[in-house]
Chain A
Amino acid sequence: MRAIVQRTLGLAWVVPALVLVGVFVYLPLVQNFGFSTLKWDIYSGDQEYVGLDNYAKLLDDPIFWSSFGNNLLYAVISIVFQVFGALLLAALIESIRSDRWRRSLRAIYFLPSAISLTVAGLLFYFIYEPNLGPLNHALEAVGLGLVDQSWLGQESTAMLAIIAMSQWQGFGYSTLLFAVAIQRIPAELYGAAAIDGTGPIRRFVHVTVPLVREMTGLMTMVTISGAFQVFNEVMVMTSGGPNNSTQVMGTWLYRSGFVRNNFGYAAAIATVIFVITLGVAMAQLWVTRRRRVEW
């Protein structure tokens, strides 16, 4: 009996965390499903149950689909740079002998990740600016003046310009994590490879890549999940314009709810984001579990 009381008292340690996460993370998540079945004007307070109408509207909404496409594009490009690019870069850095250079390069590359996406977004807003920005001037200087343009002002280039900024901002963080994973590889394995006379490329393919597999898997999932939650960089640089060409699901949700006052519809978009990020998280758990069994 006393033991049971003791154990129950032990719950006091986890109650604060559970309450915070339960009330402010899980509860809204559940409420969101309910809200997504409403037609809801937040200013007048009018609510009307409409069933799955919001989801049906979503399927017919071309801007929703182009937002989804932009998130997808974000994910694909980010995987190229923040997973494969970062892994290669980390391997290059870790092959440097000088401790000082290794550390300095890692720190320099990480630097943009320390500053906020807002600062980075504003900074690139200026960099892309046609008259003031260094990008057009740099292109002119190397004789590519013809491709000069208002990078964020045109539908064809705006999304790619935002994604490019995001790669600049984020690649150092994943490079750092890959560098840490590579450092964990026992030196003997590289030693053995060196005795066999294998070159650096084969060492990378046969030793580094297989042994950082778990980090690669984790980074892939984190990158995909992050790409479907993008908000800040788009909001700061274009707010979804020009002509909704840079709208992503996060900004379309915001616009639908807070600008167009259609909160039920915004909640439906939130559900889609939830399903995608949950799916990615489940895939992540499944992959790591399978690997554990293998070992």
Chain B
Amino acid sequence: MVRRLSFLGVIARVFMWAFLLGLAVVVLYPLLWMALNGFKSNAELFGNPFALPVDWSFANYQKAWNRGVSDYLTTSVLVTVTSTIVTVFVSAWAAYGLTRVAIPFNKAITALILGGLMLAPTVALVPLVKMFQAMGLYNSFWALLILYTAFRVPFTTFLIRAYMIDLPREVDEAAEMDGAGRWTAFWRIILPMSKPIITSTVLLHVLFAWNEYLFAMVFTSGSGVQTLPVGLTSLMSKHGTDYPVVFAGMVIAAVPVVLLFFFGQRYIVKGLADGIGK
């Protein structure tokens, strides 16, 4: 097909590219600025906030690390890893039951689990605090693990269920012919077949758990149980004048999820598309 560009078409194209690239700069510049400031001294930051760092010192990273970031990072990793495993497993387990096992009240149960999607965490905040205090789990790792799991099971089940519905029935029949029980069919056949959606939901949950703030802020106060997002704000208030250290902490918090996004982008997009596109 021969494409002829009119004069107007060329102008429109130039404007479009100028807009798209301009927007890319607006998006990237703040992130770049943040990354660069992590390498500057305080005097340098205030003297010349836009220049490149003079000697690229890692001192701020070291300071941030020693002033609590290592603890926050450990907690974040622990909460993220455990809640991801539990959430995705419970959700896959439920999705399997809802799509492949004849269970009573299937529709009502589906509605109940997925209905959790609509409820805002802020609404449950006050009763949850009371509940966790009563259970003696307030200000503990367990509070975050339980809350991250409970509040993300609806969304995760929603995505995995949408995927499992489309897996052919013949697979289950073949498994039954071979005398496999439900558990074997789930573990050996359906779960491996659902690998793409499992990958997507793992990545989405990691992004969520790593970045979550409301629960982390309300349910943890002591050091040793704070995650990075909460830790960063306390780093900010404790060392409010030593901004480069805060910048270094921010970079430490941002880098893992940015990398994760770059390598897992395909799965994140696909998972959202498969679930929400329906």
Q: Which of B119-159 contact A (CB under 8 A)?
A: 119-131, 146-147, 149-151, 153-154, 157
Q: Give Cα A235 to B260, complex, Å.
A: 26
The answer to whether B33 touches A32, judged by C-beta atoms less than 8 angstroms apart, is: no
* Residue A189 at the chain B interface, CB threshold 8 Å: no
The answer to whether A250 touches B122, judged by C-beta atoms less than 8 angstroms apart, is: yes
Q: Return A129 CB to nearest CB of chain B, in Å.
A: 9
The answer to whether A137 touches B49, judged by C-beta atoms less than 8 angstroms apart, is: yes
Q: Give Cα A270 to B120, complex, Å.
A: 9
* Residue B245 at the chain A interface, CB threshold 8 Å: no
Neighbour of A281 across the interface among B96, B118, B125, B257, CB < 8 A: B118
* Interface residues on chain B, number (Cβ under 8 Å): 87
Q: Give Cα A23 to B151, complex, Å.
A: 11
Classify the interface of chain B: helix, strand, loop or mixed: helix
Residues of B within 8 A of A218 (CB): 276
Neighbour of A273 across the interface among B49, B122, B130, B230, CB < 8 A: B122
The contact sample of 25 A-B pairs, CB cut-off 8 A, is A7-B102, A10-B102, A13-B94, A17-B157, A18-B112, A20-B149, A21-B112, A21-B116, A31-B131, A89-B23, A105-B24, A107-B265, A114-B257, A114-B258, A114-B260, A116-B211, A119-B253, A123-B250, A126-B37, A132-B45, A172-B27, A177-B273, A231-B122, A263-B126, A271-B123
Residues of chain A at the chain B interface (Cβ within 8 Å)? 6-8, 10-14, 16-18, 20-29, 31-32, 35, 42, 89, 92-93, 105, 107-112, 114-119, 122-124, 126-127, 131-134, 137, 168, 172, 176-177, 180-181, 184, 200, 215, 218, 225, 228-229, 231-232, 235-236, 249-250, 253-254, 257-258, 263, 266-267, 270-271, 273-274, 277-278, 281
Residues of chain B at the chain A interface (Cβ within 8 Å)? 12, 16, 19-20, 23-24, 26-31, 33-34, 37, 45-46, 49-50, 90-91, 93-94, 96-98, 101-104, 109, 112-113, 116, 118-131, 146-147, 149-151, 153-154, 157, 207, 210-214, 217-218, 228-230, 232-233, 236, 243, 246-247, 250, 253-254, 257-258, 260-262, 265, 269, 272-273, 276-277
